[in-house]
Amino acid sequence: MTAALVAVVLVANGLAAGVLMGTVLGGVPLLLALPPSRYVHAHAFFATRYDPFMPACLLLTVLGDVVLTFVTGGVVTALAAAFALVTVIISLTRNVPINKWVRSLDPDDLPGDFDDPRTRWKRSNDARTACAVAALLCNVVAVATMIA
Name the band, by pLDDT with cuts 50, 70 and 90, for residue 4: very high
Whether 72 maps to a domain, the answer reads yes
The number of folded domains in the chain is 1
The pLDDT, as a whole number, for residue 125 is 97
DSSP state of 107: T
The pLDDT, as a whole number, for residue 102 is 96
- The arithmetic mean of pLDDT across residues 39-61, rounded, is 92
| CA dist., res. 86 & res. 88, Å (int) | 5
Task: Please check the confidence at residue 47 and state whether its pLDDT lies above 90.
Answer: no
Whether 111 maps to a domain, the answer reads no
Whether 52 maps to a domain, the answer reads yes
Task: Please check the confidence at residue 50 and state whether its pLDDT lies above 90.
Answer: no
* Radius of gyration for the alpha carbons in the chain, expressed in angstroms and rounded: 17
- 71-126 pLDDT, tens digit each: 999 999 999 999 999 999 999 999 999 999 999 999 999 999 999 999 999 999 99
The pLDDT, as a whole number, for residue 14 is 98
Task: Please check the confidence at residue 15 and state whether its pLDDT lies above 90.
Answer: yes
Average predicted confidence (pLDDT) for the chain: 96
Task: Please check the confidence at residue 52 and state whether its pLDDT lies above 90.
Answer: no
Domain that holds residue 37: 2-106+117-147
Residue 41: CB atoms within 10 A of its CB come to 15
The pLDDT, as a whole number, for residue 51 is 81
- The arithmetic mean of pLDDT across residues 63-68, rounded, is 98
Whether 79 maps to a domain, the answer reads yes
For residue 114, give Cα distances in angstroms to 30, 36, 42, 101, 106: 19, 9, 16, 11, 11
Are 136 and 14 within 8 A, CB to CB?
Answer: yes
Residue 15 has, within 13 A of its CA and on its CB side, a CA count of: 15
What contacts 59, CB < 8 A, 6 or more positions away? 88
The pLDDT, as a whole number, for residue 121 is 97
| CA dist., res. 123 & res. 104, Å (int) | 21
| CA dist., res. 69 & res. 97, Å (int) | 32
Whether 55 maps to a domain, the answer reads yes
